[in-house]
A and B are shown apart, each in its own frame.
Chain A
Amino acid sequence: MSSSIETLISREYQHGFVTDIESDTMPAGLSEDVVRAISEKKSEPAFMVEWRLKAYRRWLSMKEPHWPNVTYGPIDYQATSYYSAPKTKTPLGSIDDVDPELLKTYAKLGIPLYEQKMLAGVAVDAIFDSVSVGTTMREELAKHGIIFCSFGEALREHPELVEKYLGSVVPYSDNFFAALNSAVFSDGSFVYVPKGVRCPVELSTYFRINSADTGQFERTLIIADEGAYVSYLEGCTAPKRSTNQLHAAVVELVALKGATIKYSTVQNWYAGDKEGRGGIYNFVTKRGKAAENAKISWTQVETGSAITWKYPSVILQGDNSVGEFYSVAVVNNKQQADTGTKMIHIGRNTKSTIVSKGISAGEGNNSYRGRVQVLPRATGARNYTQCDSMLVGNRCGAHTFPYIEVGNNSAIVEHEASTSKIGEDQIFYLKQRGLSAEQAVSMIVSGFCKEVFKELPMEFALEAQALLGITLEGSVG
């Protein structure tokens, strides 16, 4: 590796500032009382408290899993605060009532909270620490009967929808972190698109962790009713802190008959410094359930977090349903990522596509872990998987753990994987065509990730490319 490449890969994390805002933070620790208190603060209906407590009790009986290919010190669940909210005159009437300090934060992050950004055609729900601070374009959406609000609001205004679908894809007993999230989740986004409606704008949620020593546990529930279409974007950032913070979110997607949900994530939590101090532990459960003729598509660009551990999955329950997973995961310095997907083919003629691109630099470790399961009933199931890794430097690692389980002989399952490097010769070739080394690396990496970026909505694709460049800075050398 030449030094010219090395200098490219270390631009600083740009979202590492802290917003100085008064917040209402619960003392650290977790108990039934804390669970009740969170529920009370949010004036939730009775079924919610019960559900949380069930989840909490289940969580107590569960053990933290350690099967992923990542290492980290023990997490003290009693040292984390499970609720933090910016202090405001409640309740918020409109975006204009939001603390200007907060709006500044989002302006710095480039989040289009303001109406002027309406031209961007994106409706945004912004989550600061644990609570939602504002949702834009609600009226426009209401015209179509689309509900897009914070989870807390949904619980107050549409409890029947929440009760019906909450936990229907990821039950509270699903896994350790999902159980923890079910017990203490404070807010998140809720989307309901009625029958046959095509959501006219991209919906977007921006997550921000601000306070120190708090965990962020948000929960997203998206329901696309029969024949509906919705595209949803999620972005995340956090300030630089020297301690690790836990982020354990749950996302549930319900695509009813013939519905389509497209879920895109650009995850850029603080990744820790060069020595691996600090950074977010991103332990997330994401899953969608597709009914007959429905389609769920996950696209993710994972550049941040000290540790990323998530497998956005699709349960292909209905006949002819389709699942897709497009992923770019980048690790640099001491970052670790164990990510991939699960495609569970239950219905007939179900199809799934997996395209995963892993880039490892510095001392990062990147694992693709995926499961393609074809159950005996799933006649005519089809899967295509491609996972490619790129290594930059020789202190990093790339790992592939695909599990393919086929119980029906009419299924066709293909899996392909390759590993390659950015070669000096490739860089030399581009440089002699007049590009700088930095541009050359960026171009090679973009080319490598092209198949995934083309799945992202345009603004996100540009952001993702820029992020990729930043994450890899200083890793080539």
Chain B
Amino acid sequence: MAGSAAEPFVEAFDELTSDASTPAWVQSMRRAAFERFGTLGFPTTKNEDWHFTSVSPIADHDYVFLAAKSGDVGRDELAPFTFGATGWYTMVFVNGRFAPELSDIAKLPNGVKVWDLASAWTKVPDVVDRVGKLATYDNQAFTALNTAFMLDGGVVQIAKDTEVDRPIHLVFVTDATAAKGMMHPRNLILVGKHAKATVIESFVSTTDAVYLTNAVTEVSVGEGATLQHYKMQRESARAFHVGTIEASQARDSHYISFSLATGAALSRTNVYTTLDGEGSGATLNGLYMANGEQHVDHQTQIIHAQPNCFSREMYKGVLDGRSHGVFNGKVYVHPMAQKTDGKQTNNNLLLSETAHVDTKPQLEIFADDVKCTHGATVGQIDQTALFYLKSRGIESALARRLLTYAFAAGVLETIEVNEVREALEKMTLERFV
């Protein structure tokens, strides 16, 4: 593979795949994905999906693959990232590897099962045989790279008719030992027929080191099931983060996703869902806030493959300093997906003169009996509203914060988990002081 994009990764890959205890199907999947990554290479801005985001800062670094357990994170250090909630079912991964001593999964309710990926593929191969089937990597270099290096992550299985009382929280934390390292967490969430669950993924850090997180989460939402899926990206300020979620939805299911991105020097979040059963719906919301030199990119894709489905999408961005925000939302309606009802909104608030935003809402429609709209706006704080608050005796700085908060609140209020909503509202108020 001389000269190919895969070259810097060959040594680590050979070492990873030399472990004889790994099942053969995992090894062969890794090999195929690695080969594909070698062909694809890192995407360039000529690739339409990466038009506004150059990943050369990622590609220019060399990374050590963190295969072994490493790091030293105490429970107290995790406190800022747990939303002050108690009693959640939590799996903690330190520097990419499962840390059972920090996790709380001893008392899972009936119908809920969780594993770490590395033990799942030997213990419950029939559960994890969905891995690699939901997220495809043919045209996704980062998913290919993740598949080549998949080693650990959370596997969550909700049995049919189960209503899970509390959120399941997957925490991926890095500490200083992750410096110059790369992690490829791979998660699988399977929600059975008529089940209801909330899963939160957090990507956080106790350090300001440079590292790469390249996560992939595969989601299957069964017939009539509802999954609330939160992704909280609060990586170290110098980190790189690429996270892909691919969901497949059965008949009458509802997938509710919320993506928060406030961390990392450069981040990209992909949320893809396929409405593959009649009467299903998807709600994709998100909030990105950046300042300094941060670059934060979101790409969403909703494929309406069956009739009578709906999708609702609302993404908001607040950009300060010299930050750069990117949003690309695709809605694709198949010829047979009649009676589709789709709505997509992207609003951006620019707080500084040097902040920059690129947005590209995109509709591709092949069915005639559909109702699809999208809208995008870019603007600054409303001067009239600012004046109004000032005339009521509120000083300028606070008035700005309030208006910024009010802008973000429109999407934050869709969060149903109280602890998360309150924590994010507080964070929004405090972020742009």
Contacts and interface: CB of A to CB of B under 8 A. Distances in A.
Interface in B357-392: 357-380
Given A393-B368, A411-B378, A419 B353 contact: no
A2 interface: no
Interface of A: 67, 374, 376, 389, 391-421
Interface stretch (B154-162, B182-190, B246-254, B344-352): B344-352
Given A397-B366, A405-B52, A415-B376, 19 more contacts: A67-B48, A391-B367, A391-B368, A394-B368, A400-B361, A400-B363, A402-B362, A404-B378, A406-B378, A409-B350, A409-B351, A409-B353, A409-B380, A410-B353, A410-B380, A411-B378, A415-B361, A421-B368, A421-B370
Contact of B375 (A391, A394, A405, A414): A414
A391 B48 CA distance: 26
Nearest to A423: B369
B308 to A, nearest CB: 15
Nearest to A407: B356
Contact of A419 (B338, B348, B357, B363): B363
Contact of B379 (A395, A407, A411): A411
B377 A415 contact: yes
A400 B374 contact: yes
B353 A408 contact: yes
Given A409-B350, A409-B351, A420-B371, A391 B365 contact: yes
A394 B376 contact: no
A399 B374 CA distance: 12
A410 B374 CA distance: 23
B378 to A, nearest CB: 4
Q: Which of B352, B366, B378 has the most CB of A within 10 A?
A: B378
Contact of B350 (A391, A399, A400, A406): A406
B365 A413 contact: no
A396 B366 contact: yes
Nearest to A420: B371
6 contacts: A67-B48, A374-B378, A400-B363, A403-B358, A403-B360, A415-B375
B367 A394 contact: yes
B355 interface: yes
Closest CB pairs A-B (n = 8): A409-B350, A391-B368, A400-B363, A413-B378, A415-B376, A419-B372, A406-B378, A418-B373
B335 interface: yes
Nearest to A421: B368
A417 B373 contact: yes
Given A409-B350, A411-B379, A404 B372 contact: no
Given A409-B353, A418-B372, A419-B371, A399 B377 contact: no
Nearest to A405: B358
A399 B363 contact: yes
Nearest to A386: B375
B354 interface: yes
Contact of B377 (A67, A405, A408, A414): A414
Contacts of B355: 409
B264 to A, nearest CB: 22
A350 to B, nearest CB: 15
A410 B378 CA distance: 9
Contacts of B338: 394
A376 B354 contact: yes
A402 B376 contact: yes
A413 B371 contact: no
A411 B368 CA distance: 35
Interface in B300-347: 335, 338
Contact of B335 (A394, A418, A421): A394
B311 to A, nearest CB: 13
Contacts of A395: 335
Contacts of B366: 394, 396-397
A421 B365 CA distance: 12
Nearest to A418: B373
A402 B361 contact: yes
A405 B370 CA distance: 29
B420 to A, nearest CB: 29
Contacts of A419: 363, 365, 370-373
A404 B358 contact: yes
A395 B376 CA distance: 28
A58 B210 CA distance: 44
A149 B155 CA distance: 74
A395 B334 CA distance: 10
